[in-house]
């Protein structure tokens, strides 16, 4: 085992016994929501995963230690400290560990640490991708490169609609990452169930998804798999409303010179303000929905093995 990695005993026991485990990121706690809603949501997601028959493993860096599974006290610590915690991508892990500092894991670093621990399935809200205007800025999320190289399945509500969805799909195709639509042929766009783009494959059962991922791993094909799970209909936002808010937020970010790591937190916070908080409510519900699906896939994956 990696000497910088601490696996929570409950998580380690489940992995050793081939019982289902679902990884969760910690950026959503520190940077995604205000306190105490961030802590309440994180604990609620963990409860949903337990209720679905799997073990949750929230991932983070605390005091220079890579953590696969947090205690409620550690989740509370993350929630209170909030954006004072560094947002950690692949390039940051070694420095954070060397300095003994904290780090909130993105999709990228959650995948890395989950893979180190032996966790195959990860539930999140939405993944990063190719930002609008990337043909000149080269602003492309490290999430995509990680999906291309690390064998962890990511269950999400699609690519964040602040991105260029078409270019994001092109990037994933080039790097051999299959994009699965759970019960849909259309790529969901985070806050809304639909977009103008199509996924690679539609699959209607967790067992089918788990089987495809196990075969991929047994064939020795590198990289992960992206499972897109549409937000429940009752929480889906009107496309015209959310797209107007996104366009305004993107323009404001451009005017302020906000890019890179700072872009997504700024855009999500601004969109929340512009939609009167509706986008945050939708964000929470889609995370819950993804946790349920990820637990089902993790159970099916263990049954396959």
Active site residues: 25, 160
Which of 165, 164, 50, 156 lies closest to 107 in space, CA to CA?
156
| Contacts (Cβ under 8 Å, ≥6 apart) of 22 | 49, 54, 55, 56, 57, 119, 121, 122, 123, 291, 294, 295, 298
Q: Phi, psi at residue 12, to the nearest 5°?
A: -60, -40
Mark 256-295 as b/e (b = at least 16 C-beta within 10 Å). eebeebebbbbbbbbbbebbeebbbebbbbbbbbbbbbbb
Rounded Cα–Cα distance for residues 64 and 99 (Å): 6
Which of 221, 225, 224 lies closest to 203 in space, CA to CA?
225
Q: Is 60 helix (H, G, I), strand (E, B) or coil?
A: strand
Using left for φ > 0, alpha for ψ between -120 and 50, and beta otherwise, residue 54 falls in beta
Rounded Cα–Cα distance for residues 235 and 278 (Å): 9
In order of 22, 78, 125, 235, 265, the CA distances from 72 in angstroms are 16, 10, 21, 28, 24
Tokens of 99: 């300095």
């Amino acid at each position: 085992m990696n000497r910088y990695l601490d696996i929570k005993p409950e998580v380690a026991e489940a992995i050793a016994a081939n019982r289902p485990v679902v990884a969760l990121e910690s950026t959503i706690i520190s940077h995604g929501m205000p306190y105490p809603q961030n802590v309440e949501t994180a604990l609620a997601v963990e409860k949903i995963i337990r209720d679905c028959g799997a073990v949750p493993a929230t991932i983070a860096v605390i005091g220079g230690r890579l953590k696969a599974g947090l205690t409620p006290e550690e989740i509370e610590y993350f929630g209170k400290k909030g954006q004072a915690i560094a947002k950690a991508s692949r390039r940051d892990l070694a420095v954070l560990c060397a300095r003994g500092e904290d780090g909130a894991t993105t999709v990228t670093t959650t995948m890395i640490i989950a893979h180190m621990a032996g966790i195959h399935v990860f539930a999140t809200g939405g993944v990063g991708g190719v930002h609008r205007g990337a043909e000149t800025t080269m602003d492309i999320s490290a999430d995509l490169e990680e999906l291309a190289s690390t064998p962890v399945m990511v269950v999400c509500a699609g690519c964040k609609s602040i991105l260029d969805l078409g270019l994001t799909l092109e990037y994933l195709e080039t790097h051999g990452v299959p994009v699965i639509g759970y019960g849909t042929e259309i790529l969901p766009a985070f806050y809304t169930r639909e977009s103008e783009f199509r996924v690679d494959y539609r699959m209607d059962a967790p067992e089918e998804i788990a089987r495809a991922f196990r075969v991929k791993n047994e064939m020795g094909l590198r990289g992960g798999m992206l499972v897109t799970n549409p937000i429940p209909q009752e929480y889906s936002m009107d496309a015209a409303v959310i797209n107007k808010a996104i366009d305004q937020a993107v323009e404001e970010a451009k005017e302020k010179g906000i890019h890179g790591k700072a872009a997504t937190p700024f855009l999500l916070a601004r969109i929340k303000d512009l939609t009167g908080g509706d986008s945050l409510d939708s964000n929470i519900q889609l995370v819950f929905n993804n946790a349920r699906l990820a637990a089902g896939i993790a159970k099916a994956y263990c049954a396959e093995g």
